[in-house]
């Protein structure tokens, strides 16, 4: 069975879309750069490459390629939750909070390395950044499939007085 067939087999067994089920599905696949490589796409209309490799009524699997020193837009996942696995590289995940003006205020950020996984819960607003000079490749699983994600502008808050 090739890797894409394995993806379909594992993801067709997902029923609830809860965090532990998504994490278990990603762990079962044992994603490697060799397996993901044929599904990596170069950026076109976005600052990153994005390739939907599998979609059902329950889940959607996407491979993201973030070139060196690039970032995604600040965004949420609409009504979907997601789990992502760092296949190759290092990523900084920046978490924001939407304010009453519809802008995103910085909350915190953390670093993830190859082999680590993170969960984006309901309503989470974030941006992914590649802080290095090497490619970042991630594998994402969303449930339900992405439909209406929202994009935000950052609201910069000065934390000092002149």
Is 162 inside any structural domain?
Answer: no
CATH number for 84: 2.60.120.10
Which residue range forms the structural domain that includes residue 105?
Answer: 3-146
For residue 155, pLDDT beyond 90:
no
Query: Does 18 score more than 90 pLDDT?
Result: no
Q: Is it the case that residue 16 has pLDDT exceeding 80?
A: no
Residue 36 lies in a domain: yes
Report the percent of the chain where pLDDT is more than 70. Answer: 96
Domain count, the chain: 1
pLDDT, one tens digit per residue, over 68-89 is 999 999 999 999 999 999 999 9
Identify whether 97 is part of a domain. Answer: yes
| Strand locations in the chain (E) | 49-55, 60-66, 74-75, 81-88, 90-98, 104-113, 117-120, 125-129, 136-143, 151-152
Q: Is residue 86 part of a domain?
A: yes
Q: Is the residue at 134 inside a domain? A: yes
- Give the residue among 161, 120, 137 at the shortest CA–CA distance from 50: 137
Assigned domain for 99 exists: yes
Let me know if residue 102 belongs to a domain: yes
Whether residue 154 lies inside any domain: the answer is no
* Percent of the chain whose predicted confidence (pLDDT) is above 90: 72
């Amino acid at each position: 069975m090739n890797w894409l067939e394995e993806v379909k087999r594992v993801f067709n067994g997902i029923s609830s879309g809860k965090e532990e089920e998504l994490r278990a599905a990603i762990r079962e696949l044992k994603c490697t750069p060799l397996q993901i490589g044929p599904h990596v796409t170069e950026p076109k209309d976005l600052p990153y490459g994005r390739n939907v490799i599998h979609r059902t009524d329950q889940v959607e699997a996407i491979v993201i390629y973030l070139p060196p020193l690039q970032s995604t837009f600040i965004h949420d996942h609409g009504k979907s939750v997601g789990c992502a696995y760092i296949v190759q590289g290092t990523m900084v995940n920046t978490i924001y909070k939407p304010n009453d003006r519809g802008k995103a205020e910085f909350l915190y950020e953390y670093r993830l390395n190859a082999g680590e996984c993170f969960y984006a819960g309901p309503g989470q607003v974030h941006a992914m950044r590649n802080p290095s000079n090497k490619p970042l490749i991630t594998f994402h699983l969303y449930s339900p499939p992405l439909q209406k994600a929202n994009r935000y502008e950052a609201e910069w808050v000065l934390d000092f007085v002149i």
